[in-house]
Amino acid sequence: MLSEKHHIHHRTKKILSYILSFFVMICTITVSMCITIKSGLLNPNIIESSMHKGNYYEYRLGILNKGIEDLLAESGLPKDLAKDVVTDGMMSIDTSSYISNALKGKPVAFDTSALEAALVDNVTEYLKKQGITLDEKLERYISDIASQAKAIYKSNISFEFIAPYMSFASKYDSIIKSFTIGSIAVIIICTALLLLLHRRKYRAVRFCTYGVLAGSVVTACISLLAKKALIGVISGEGAYYNVMRIYISDAFMQGMYVAIGDIMMCGILIFITYVMKRKVI
């Protein structure tokens, strides 16, 4: 009779342990995916890195130079006067500033004095070589060309994805924080209950390890599947779509890094379990 009661008690305790381990797994997945979204999809550095990898600045520079060349041609000036007026480095710095200020809700401003000065110098030098004497009216005309070039430059310092990104971030940022804090609290509660449930504490740690390990594997799978699915949705061609594919890929790679971190933590927990078992704790 006593043996049967002991068997029922042991089986009940085991079932409860697996249930608590399951909750640890669900919460581990939730925390890991929240970290993935926060450090990946909602990370401005990932966007900027993707723009560099996808040659977005070179693409924009080509459009910009074409605009300035057309402006010069309309004014009866050679297109090659646009050479070296704008560099991809200049665009990279100003676009980064644009993204940073836009995300912080600050006004976006650019210093285009170097661009205007370079274009004015190029045009002035060309006219002097043609034997044309500059007067006040001609200087104003050259200055007007530089101002139009400045407007073309400013219109090209942008990134189409920033507006939907800001909308997504403002909508889900607080939700992600709430889910993260809530899930961590549940993991702590489940761990405490497992420790209370088992006289030998290494068994409680072992069941926690089951949950964390399963959660890390599922996190890795979700990240890979989500990356594949979202990249598959992007069917367009061109620099912008190429940047978006790189962005999605790099963002969900954070999930793989989080999963690896979870697995390393499992290794630590397994070691702790081994030490505790050896000491019969």
Label residue 270 exposed, middle or buried (CB < 10 Å: 0-12, 13-18, 19+).
middle
CA 41 – CA 249 distance, rounded (Å): 10
Give residue-wise pLDDT tens across range 114-148: 888 888 888 888 888 888 877 788 888 888 988 89
Report the chain's terminal Cα–Cα distance, integer Å.
29
Query: Where residue 2 falls among pLDDT bands split at 50, 70, 90?
Result: very low
pLDDT for the residue numbered 43: 87
pLDDT at 5 over 80: no
The two three-digit tokens of residue 261, written as one number: 């971190």
Nearest to 122 by CA among 63, 70, 78, 155: 78
Q: What is the pLDDT of residues 18-31, one digit of tens each?
A: 999 999 999 999 99
* 254: enclosing H helix or E strand: helix 239-278
Ordered DSSP codes for 91-124? HHHHHHHHHHHHHHTPPP----HHHHHHHHHHHH
Residues whose CB falls within 8 Å of the CB of residue 248, separated by 6 or more in sequence, listed in order:
227, 230, 231, 234
**Residue 136 neighbours by CB under 8 Å, 6+ apart:** none
C-alpha Rg value of the chain to the nearest Å: 30
Q: Are the C-beta atoms of residues 84 and 74 closer than 8 Å to each other?
A: no
* 163-200 residue pLDDT tens: 788 888 888 888 999 999 999 999 999 999 998 988 88
With a pLDDT cut of 90, the percent of the chain lying above it is 30
The 10s digit of each residue's pLDDT in 54-77 is 888 888 888 888 888 898 888 888
Full-model pTM:
0.79
The 10s digit of each residue's pLDDT in 210-252 is 999 999 999 999 999 999 999 988 888 888 889 899 999 999 9
> Residue 280: pLDDT above 60?
no
